[in-house]
Structure formats: structure tokens, C-alpha cells
Chains A and B, each alone.
Chain A
């Protein structure tokens, strides 16, 4: 019954490494999101995609990029990982049916906890 799958639950990387976080959804949703979650700061939006090959920056895009080549897959890329990118990363998706209301109902993956040493 898993609908949003994040391929890696736990990753440990070294400073300067390139990191790929993968997210796949099987609900045919148009919208996909990447959030970062840190204690006391809640969820902060990194990037948002509303269609294949389309993306918009969120609140904290610096140091990150994204790729959406297929509707079901949304990848988050850390070009050169740094220790301040140690965090929990959450992927989510939503659909565009029901006008705007459906688009605001997010289905989340289980999260990817990244540690950068």
C-alpha cells in the first residue's frame, strides 16, 4: 500500500560528495515536493515540481537541485554535500484534481535521513 517511496531511509556521506535522493510515487500525481525537516524548524520547502521537467524553488533551494524526467519520479541532488545539509528529507506528492483543494493534500514518503561527515 506504499504510495510514495523514498529509496534510501538512511545515508551517510562525506563532505564534498554528490548525493542523490530518489522519490517515486505510484498515484499519477502531478505535483511533487522535497522538504527538509530539522528540529524546531518544522518542514521547509526545498523544491516543488508541478509537471515533468518543471520545477520551482522553495524557501531554501541553495545547495540543492532537482530533476523530474518522468511524472512518477522526483530526484533531489546535493552537488557537493556539506555538514549543514545533515537532515531528514521528506518527499511528498499531490494531485491537481478537485481544483486547488486536492493539490494541497500531500502524501508523504517515509523520509531519508542524511548524515554528512
Chain B
């Protein structure tokens, strides 16, 4: 069975600072990995996805994530955070054998001016 852990429930950063949100997964083979963002009162929007190939993935809104098989991680990064990045971020893992991805519990990002 696949599972996802987002160890940080809340992260607080200052505007302009760099950001890294952690995601660890459990899956026997090469997983499909995703990051979604949810603005307050909205649904989830796909930020980026990894299926195979280059382990550094670029997404929308200036985000990137790196797949590290040895650490079973897929951490999300942004070099300079904007106040509009304040939101809930969800990591998810999927596989070719299932149509149902598994979501982490989410990390709430707070951005201070």
C-alpha cells in the first residue's frame, strides 16, 4: 500500500524567504508524485507532478520539487515566497496500478510580511 507523510502541519516564513515543504512517501516501486495547492475556500490545484525521468521537476507559480529515491522524498521548494503563496499544500503519491492517489494531511503555509 502507498502512503504519504507531510511532517510539518504548519510552516511560517517571511515574505521573500526561501521555502521547503517536506514530503515522504512509502511505495515499493517508482511512484507517481504530486504537489497540490489549496487557497482558502477553494479546491486543490496541481502545482507539479513527477512520473519519471529528470528528478527535478518545475511547476507553476515558481515552485519546483526534487524526487530523491534514496530518501523516499519529494520536497517542494521555492526560492522566494510571496504573500499570495499562503495556502495549504498537499503532497500525493500514485502508481500505474491504481487510479486512486493517496494524499498527505497537508502543510499550512503562513507568510509574514
Q: How far apart sit A99 and B49, CA to CA, in the bound complex (Å)?
A: 15
CB distance from B56 to the nearest CB of A (A): 18
Establish whether residues B95 and A43, one from each chain, have CB atoms under 8 Å apart when the complex forms: no
Contact partners of A113 in chain B: CB under 8 A: 41
Q: How far apart sit A106 and B9, CA to CA, in the bound complex (Å)?
A: 23
> Which A residues between 65 and 117 are near B, CB-CB below 8 angstroms?
90, 92, 94, 96, 99-101, 103-111, 113
Q: How far apart sit A109 and B32, CA to CA, in the bound complex (Å)?
A: 22
| B44 in the interface (beta carbon within 8 A) | yes
Interface bin, chain A: 20 to 34
Establish whether residues B44 and A106, one from each chain, have CB atoms under 8 Å apart when the complex forms: yes
Q: How far apart sit A99 and B42, CA to CA, in the bound complex (Å)?
A: 29
Establish whether residues A90 and B43, one from each chain, have CB atoms under 8 Å apart when the complex forms: yes
Q: How far apart sit A106 and B46, CA to CA, in the bound complex (Å)?
A: 8
Given contacts A41-B105, A105-B49, A106-B101, contact A100 B96 (CB under 8 A): yes
Establish whether residues B46 and A110, one from each chain, have CB atoms under 8 Å apart when the complex forms: no
Establish whether residues A105 and B44, one from each chain, have CB atoms under 8 Å apart when the complex forms: no
8 contacts between A and B (CB under 8 A): A33-B100, A43-B44, A94-B99, A104-B98, A108-B36, A108-B43, A110-B41, A111-B41
